[in-house]
Structure 1
Amino acid sequence: MTTNRGRRALLLTLSAAVVAGAALSGGGAATAVAAPAAPVSVVPASGAPVSGASISVAPAAPAGLDWGGCDAAVRPLPGQECARLSVPLDYARPHGEQIQLAVSRLRSTVPAARRGTLMVIPGGPGSSGVQRLAQKGAVLAGETGGAYDLVAFDPRGIGGSAKARCGLAEEDRWMVTLRSWPGAGGGVEENIARSKRIAEACARNGGAMLRGLTTANQVRDLERLRQALGERKLSAWAVSYGTYVAAEYAQKFPGRTDRWVLDSSSDPDPRRVARGWLEGMAEGAADRFPDFAAWASHPDRAKAGLRLAERPEDVRPLLLDLAARLDRAPHASATAGVPLSGAMLLQALQQSLYSDGSFEGFARLVTAALDPAGRPVLPPELAGAMPDEAAAVSVGVICNDVDWPRASPAAYQRVVDADRVRHPLTAGMPVNATPCAYWKGGAVEKPVRITDRGPSNILMIQNLRDPSTPYTKGLAMRAALGDRARLVSVDHGGHGVYLGNGNACGDRAVTRFLTEGVRPDRDVLCR
């Protein structure tokens, strides 16, 4: 039985994990069951990888799952069940130490219509599949007419699954410090020092659990879950970072995929992976911002006091001027001891661009910051430090997946200075120094190259103006998959398309594919 105090701590951890994952995704969070309390193994002193590129999933998989009720912290839907899945900590030692992953499902209520299992694969890295199922399961079940059991799991490090910890100081666990926003005026010295400090702490305290946080292991864990479910094939709806997980699964286990949906993809270039995704956020913010500028300058905003300018073209200069002033002199906020800085304002903007529904909250933040007597209400994710385990997973996966180049402080400064001019809305953050540049041991294993070899059973869907996975990066995934995929482009802004932005054309295309197996003959555009 989980105590009220334990449930509250779990909810805080889960909500922070969503924020950690927001760097690459727009996804949900939470979990089914409390996770093991500590890492269960130690990285060899040599720093050797915990798994290699040639490792296959161990043949010994659990015969089934013991389904039961979900923890109340998940806020489960009626009928939502939860279980635990045992997987190897290290697939190079498949019969060695095992860790537990939280798993959840919503069974089809129309047995005659059921055709299989649909995996709901969350974004991040840092988002919970169990919580996303709780958030989207009812509408997804209704949309697909009971054709699937809906299943999700919390990846390693997330929600109710086994956790890793880095032992980071509180000041290093804030969103605007984990995301490398340059200092006032664009200086990078503090970012470099912090990045080194985080990398050193993770190497010292993370152990094998931290080194096991990789996309490759999430793919292996998904295959183990398929075996435990007793399914010959899986279908999937993957969002944001989850599309990379799903694409890698389809590359490694093509014969195990049925109907595969990739929603809001980024460039799978194995030389860059997460580094390229982060850099793409500058382009994404520029693509998406005109939607907010049009909203914030519309006369309808005047009645609520939220009209920031009379013309769309005046909104960006207003925000950039405000951010510069807040960097010089942060504005006291409604959270005691946490003033609003320019970096925090731009981080809040980035988050608000994910959904039209977030525009009003950001406009209120700006309006209060413009008022000398105002007390801006900070978004929850900016008002405090993340739990250590949430911070660990937010850096662990992206640093373990691929080697990041290390540059001199002067080189970082030059790149950041240039990017601040080219993309002022992200102020050089996407190209700044991160802990990955100083990560001990580098990538755990060689990244997978996504190719056009495999069954033609993938449907992609992508917004034209996505702040996190910009359209051009989605086109790179489309090119990599070749004839295996078809792309539905949607003339809309925001992150996450299917059942997310109300575009009937896009929703209809995905639903028809999942329920009837019918894709467009060629790539299409939904206006």
Structure 2
Amino acid sequence: MKHIKRNASLIAASAVLLGLAVPLTASAAGPEPLKWTKCEGTGLDPRQQCATVDVPMDYSDPDGGKIQIAVSRLPSGKPSARRGALLLIPGGPGGVSLEDPSGKGQKLPQQVRDAYDLIGFAPRGMAPSSTASCGLESKDLALAKLPWPTPDGSVTETMATARRIADACARNGGELIRHLNTANDARDLDRVRAALGESRISAWGDSYGTYVGSVYSQLFPHRTDRIVLDSNNNPDHTRVGRAWLAAFETGVEDNFPEFAKWASRPGNPYRVARKAADVRPLFLRLAERLDREPLSWPGADPAELNGNVLRQTMLTSLYDPDDYPTLAQMILAARKGTVPPVPEAPDESMMQNAAAVGAGILCNNVAWPRSAAHYQKSVDESRAKFPLTAGMPRGPMLCAAWPYEPREPAVRITDRGPSNILLVQNERDVASPLSGARELRRAFGDRAVMVTVNSTGHGAYLANGNACGDGIVSRFLATGERPDRDTYCA
């Protein structure tokens, strides 16, 4: 769900899946060899190479129209120790990992980098792969717009925004937007695997990438080697996407106390209260005041600091404790009746691209309720129980007005397949809370082992986790050694 944080954007019947699985691998003639060239971009390892893989736009018509998937590769640092290829599956929907072999991949221990070629890619719809866009109005890209209800809790305006965005996607998204879903993301990865010449492939997926990795492991279980899933989403195939959004209720409740302790610490230059217990009521009062009396914020988008902007800033800042000062500065400024500096605006073309892919994935995976009354009832319940998020996690995304029905059932994650999956999960994760990770762990059964890390933030392995968790994951990738049972890293 990083699309909510970073990109204004905010994720089966076995007979159907088995029927599709036969033509969804490599074609009978086999994949064409990849034509590797120098990658564009700055700051990349000079050894990193790039190529494209042609895949079907519609896997039910594998001989029909093709789209391209952009792929990058950083070869093993020690060919004699090379085991295979490690896919770096990005979050999102709307994330790209093309630069990750030269970026976060370099945080991997040398033994892991020696064992694998590191493989990045741009998922279907994301530039520079065949690209999707809904051509949205700039106002509909604002983080605090959808699906936050209005200050009185009404979803009427949110439903109108959903219809406007969905209509734009139908009008401007072309045929590609109808073929964006997680199952197709997984099928594309199997085409990448085949083009790389690998009989099996390992993967490190984070956030939304954990669902892509899970679906790949379900559709192509015997083509998986060592699978690491980091910051895990609830795999409920009846509520894909909706369950991820709803998880912010508990995610915020899990994480806000950590912010409160930090924001009340003596000596903190961004201290907002003298006691941790005072931070929550202070925040709620301030949000309500900004609902009633927004502050003008020239140059920002939106151009006012209102209650939902404060709440969205909270949500964004809780992803990483390093971002706590952003929320504290906004609280301190707003209490004085002023505004913080205008944040740097993200690139609009990137926002448009990520918003379209996020929309296609979330809305094509599973049908969402259409009734405004359904969302209003859910929002009212959520506001009463989880005031910090003010009903947003149960609000209507644009999927409430999506003009297309899913082309296939969402993939159901089961315990069928090899036991080669390691879940790593921070105990306090605002976007992928521990409760959802436990649901994925249950779904995998004996196929998986989970490492729960006593840490705060989104992204555990080599990010916001701890040395214990990092060591377990690194050993698994390098040697295949995995704990015999679920493990807690204190």
TM-score band by shorter chain is over 0.9
Tell me if structure 2 keeps the 8 A contact 1:120–1:238.
yes
Partner residue of 2:333? Answer: 368
* Aligned mates of 1:145, 1:193 — CA distance in 2: 49
* Aligned mates of 2:222, 2:347 — CA distance in 1: 46
Shift in Å at residue 378 of structure 1?
4.1
TM-score of the two chains, using structure 2 as the length reference: 0.93
Shift in Å at residue 333 of structure 1?
2.9
Map 1:286-297 → 2, pairs under 5 A: 286-297=253-264
Judged with a 3 Å threshold, the aligned counterparts in structure 2 of structure 1 residues 239 and 421 are, in CA distance, closer, same or farther, namely same
Partner residue of 1:19? Answer: 6
> For residues 13-46 of structure 1, what are the alpha-carbon distances to aligned partners after superposition, in whole Å with 9 as ceiling and x for unaligned?
xx9997237637xxxxxxxxxxxxxxxxxxxxxx
Tell me if structure 1 keeps the 8 A contact 2:3–2:92.
no
1:273 alignment partner, one of 227, 240, 246: 240
Partner residue of 1:71? Answer: 40
* Aligned mates of 2:300, 2:342 — CA distance in 1: 11
Shift in Å at residue 137 of structure 1?
1.6
Tell me if structure 2 keeps the 8 A contact 1:335–1:383.
no
Judged with a 3 Å threshold, the aligned counterparts in structure 2 of structure 1 residues 363 and 385 are, in CA distance, closer, same or farther, namely farther
Query: What secondary structure, in the 3-state scheme, does the structure 1 residue paired with 2:455 have?
Result: strand
Shift in Å at residue 390 of structure 1?
2.4
Partner residue of 1:62? Answer: 31
Tell me if structure 1 keeps the 8 A contact 2:210–2:231.
yes
* Aligned mates of 1:437, 1:112 — CA distance in 2: 53
* Aligned mates of 1:441, 1:23 — CA distance in 2: 19
**327-336 vs 346-355, which deviates more?**
327-336
Q: Which runs of 5+ in 2 are unaligned?
A: none
Query: What secondary structure, in the 3-state scheme, does the structure 2 residue paired with 1:486 have?
Result: strand
**492-501 vs 386-395, which deviates more?**
386-395
* Aligned mates of 2:346, 2:287 — CA distance in 1: 15
Shift in Å at residue 116 of structure 1?
0.8
Tell me if structure 2 keeps the 8 A contact 1:18–1:126.
no
* Aligned mates of 2:126, 2:4 — CA distance in 1: 7
* Aligned mates of 1:445, 1:108 — CA distance in 2: 38
Is 1:258 the counterpart of 2:225? The answer is yes
* Aligned mates of 2:127, 2:313 — CA distance in 1: 24
Is 1:406 the counterpart of 2:370? The answer is yes
Tell me if structure 1 keeps the 8 A contact 2:238–2:366.
yes
Query: What secondary structure, in the 3-state scheme, does the structure 2 residue paired with 1:84 have?
Result: strand
What is the root-mean-square deviation in Å for CA atoms of aligned residues? 2.1
Map 1:102-113 → 2, pairs under 5 A: 102-113=70-81
* Aligned mates of 1:21, 1:516 — CA distance in 2: 39
Tell me if structure 2 keeps the 8 A contact 1:236–1:261.
yes
> For residues 98-135 of structure 1, what are the alpha-carbon distances to aligned partners after superposition, in whole Å with 9 as ceiling and x for unaligned?
11111111111211211111111011101111133342
Is 1:461 the counterpart of 2:429? The answer is no
Aligned residues: 479
* Aligned mates of 1:461, 1:168 — CA distance in 2: 36
Judged with a 3 Å threshold, the aligned counterparts in structure 2 of structure 1 residues 134 and 186 are, in CA distance, closer, same or farther, namely farther
Partner residue of 2:388? Answer: 425
* Aligned mates of 1:481, 1:382 — CA distance in 2: 38
Map 1:315-464 → 2, pairs under 5 A: 315-333=279-297, 335=299, 338-372=303-337, 374-380=338-344, 387-407=351-371, 409-464=372-427
* Aligned mates of 1:431, 1:323 — CA distance in 2: 19
Partner residue of 1:147? Answer: 115
2:214 alignment partner, one of 231, 247, 252: 247
Partner residue of 2:131? Answer: 163
Is 1:228 the counterpart of 2:195? The answer is yes
* Aligned mates of 2:323, 2:342 — CA distance in 1: 13
Tell me if structure 2 keeps the 8 A contact 1:263–1:497.
yes
**200-209 vs 423-432, which deviates more?**
200-209
Q: Which runs of 5+ in 1 are unaligned?
A: 1-14, 25-51
Judged with a 3 Å threshold, the aligned counterparts in structure 2 of structure 1 residues 461 and 195 are, in CA distance, closer, same or farther, namely same
Partner residue of 1:3? Answer: none
> Which amino acid is the alignment partner of residue 267 of structure 1?
N
* Aligned mates of 1:173, 1:385 — CA distance in 2: 11
Judged with a 3 Å threshold, the aligned counterparts in structure 2 of structure 1 residues 150 and 358 are, in CA distance, closer, same or farther, namely same
Tell me if structure 2 keeps the 8 A contact 1:332–1:376.
no
> Which amino acid is the alignment partner of residue 491 of structure 1?
N
Partner residue of 2:275? Answer: 311
* Aligned mates of 1:22, 1:455 — CA distance in 2: 34
Partner residue of 1:180? Answer: 147
> Which amino acid is the alignment partner of residue 316 of structure 2?
Q
Shift in Å at residue 444 of structure 1?
2.2
* Aligned mates of 2:351, 2:377 — CA distance in 1: 33
Judged with a 3 Å threshold, the aligned counterparts in structure 2 of structure 1 residues 368 and 133 are, in CA distance, closer, same or farther, namely farther
- Identity level (%): 47
Shift in Å at residue 83 of structure 1?
1.4
Query: What secondary structure, in the 3-state scheme, does the structure 2 residue paired with 1:112 have?
Result: helix
Judged with a 3 Å threshold, the aligned counterparts in structure 2 of structure 1 residues 155 and 382 are, in CA distance, closer, same or farther, namely closer
Is 1:120 the counterpart of 2:94? The answer is no
Partner residue of 1:82? Answer: 50
* Aligned mates of 1:173, 1:386 — CA distance in 2: 11
* Aligned mates of 2:265, 2:5 — CA distance in 1: 31
Partner residue of 2:453? Answer: 490
Tell me if structure 2 keeps the 8 A contact 1:365–1:378.
no
Judged with a 3 Å threshold, the aligned counterparts in structure 2 of structure 1 residues 197 and 230 are, in CA distance, closer, same or farther, namely same
Shift in Å at residue 95 of structure 1?
2.4
TM-score of the two chains, using structure 1 as the length reference: 0.87
* Aligned mates of 1:166, 1:371 — CA distance in 2: 39
Tell me if structure 1 keeps the 8 A contact 2:149–2:158.
yes
Judged with a 3 Å threshold, the aligned counterparts in structure 2 of structure 1 residues 365 and 77 are, in CA distance, closer, same or farther, namely farther
> For residues 65-95 of structure 1, what are the alpha-carbon distances to aligned partners after superposition, in whole Å with 9 as ceiling and x for unaligned?
111211126x423422211111111122222
**55-64 vs 461-470, which deviates more?**
55-64
Partner residue of 2:169? Answer: 202
* Aligned mates of 1:86, 1:386 — CA distance in 2: 23
Shift in Å at residue 238 of structure 1?
0.7
Tell me if structure 2 keeps the 8 A contact 1:196–1:435.
yes
**133-142 vs 359-368, which deviates more?**
133-142
Judged with a 3 Å threshold, the aligned counterparts in structure 2 of structure 1 residues 422 and 506 are, in CA distance, closer, same or farther, namely same
* Aligned mates of 2:354, 2:191 — CA distance in 1: 24
Judged with a 3 Å threshold, the aligned counterparts in structure 2 of structure 1 residues 149 and 384 are, in CA distance, closer, same or farther, namely closer
Judged with a 3 Å threshold, the aligned counterparts in structure 2 of structure 1 residues 383 and 334 are, in CA distance, closer, same or farther, namely farther
1:285 alignment partner, one of 252, 256, 260: 252
